[in-house]
Amino acid sequence: MAEAYMRSSGTATREIPIVERTPPPTGTVTGKAVARNEVHIAATAANSFFVIPSASLGRDVQIGERLSLRVHQGRASIDTSRDRDR
């Protein structure tokens, strides 16, 4: 589903393959929500995507929404510190 959304929305570069990658065990990542089901969400950046459990995010995420995620010990949450800085 993530690859199909990326191709149809123009999010991916046409000539480069889209690959699934593992989210970092610790750190921050930004991207766009590109697919979801009852328990997971896929987020993307630069012709790749990663899948994370949606329950750990703390709120409902919509397809196409820009996300800033903080990952700690393999668990992702929405990074709200960027909103406070603005």
Instruction: Find where tokens 């065990």 sit.
Output: 25
CATH code of the domain containing 61: 2.40.50.140
Banded model confidence at residue 86, pLDDT cuts 50, 70, 90: very low
pLDDT of residue 20: 84
> What is the C-alpha to C-alpha distance for residues 26 and 23, in angstroms, rounded to an integer?
8
Number of neighbouring beta carbons within 10 Å of residue 83: 9
% of the chain with per-residue pLDDT over 90: 3
- Rounded Cα gap, residues 55 and 38, in angstroms: 9
| pLDDT score of 24 | 82
Number of domains the chain is built from: 1
d(CA 50, CA 41): 8
Backbone angles phi, psi at 76, to 5 degrees: -95, 145
Query: Is the model's pLDDT at 85 over the cut of 60?
Result: no
Domain carrying residue 79:
2-85
Q: What is the pLDDT of residues 2-43, one digit of tens each?
A: 888 887 887 777 778 888 888 888 988 888 898 898 899 888
